[in-house]
Amino acid sequence: MGLDHFFSKDLVFCLEADNQEQLFDQVATLLEEKKVVTDTYRSALIEREKMFPTGLDMEFLGKDLPNVAIPHTDTIHNLTENVVVVRLPKPVTFHNMIAPDKEVEVSLLFFIINNSSSSQTNILAQLMDFFTGNGHLEALSKITEPEALYQYISEATA
């Protein structure tokens, strides 16, 4: 299944948050309202991020690119299969997925919402291919409106 299948116009957001917990709270509330996740998602997201950080330092692709995080939970907390996109004007601190003791300032997030354990790794691999290809991060760093983010992502992943 192609990556474009997982994106939805109503699941792309431009939000502001002072910290990771505030961000997770906003996202969980939005996703609960849209019936995309269960009421256990919020706490599961916070706990999983503490145990297995999801921040990615993208500096290896070029200077001034936004760092990315790919938060996700176990499938039991998700009601659909989607990738939720969140763009932040001001970065929030995450811990690095590769080196958890290091902090990463993240301004672009892709929340994997997945109720099927069989496709989690596939979605993650496709997202990594997307981030590292064709100047996508540079383009996304310049887009500040949800509709334009969705348009770019849907065209780039089609």
Q: Calculate mean pLDDT across residues 95-115.
A: 96
**Dihedral class, residue 16 (left if φ above 0, else alpha if ψ from -120 to 50, else beta):** beta
122-136: b (≥16 Cβ within 10 Å) or e: ebbebbeebbeeeeb
Q: How do residues 69-87 score in pLDDT, each as one tens digit?
A: 999 999 999 999 999 999 9
Q: Calculate mean pLDDT across residues 45-70.
A: 94
Domains in the chain: how many in total? Answer: 1
**Structural domain harbouring 131:** 3-157
- Per-residue confidence band for 116, with pLDDT thresholds at 50, 70 and 90: confident
Q: What is the CATH number of the domain that holds 25?
A: 3.40.930.10
* Residue-level pLDDT at 63: 84
**Which residues, 6 or more positions from 119, have their beta carbon under 8 angstroms from its beta carbon?**
1, 81
* Residue-level pLDDT at 1: 60
pTM greater than the 0.75 cutoff = yes
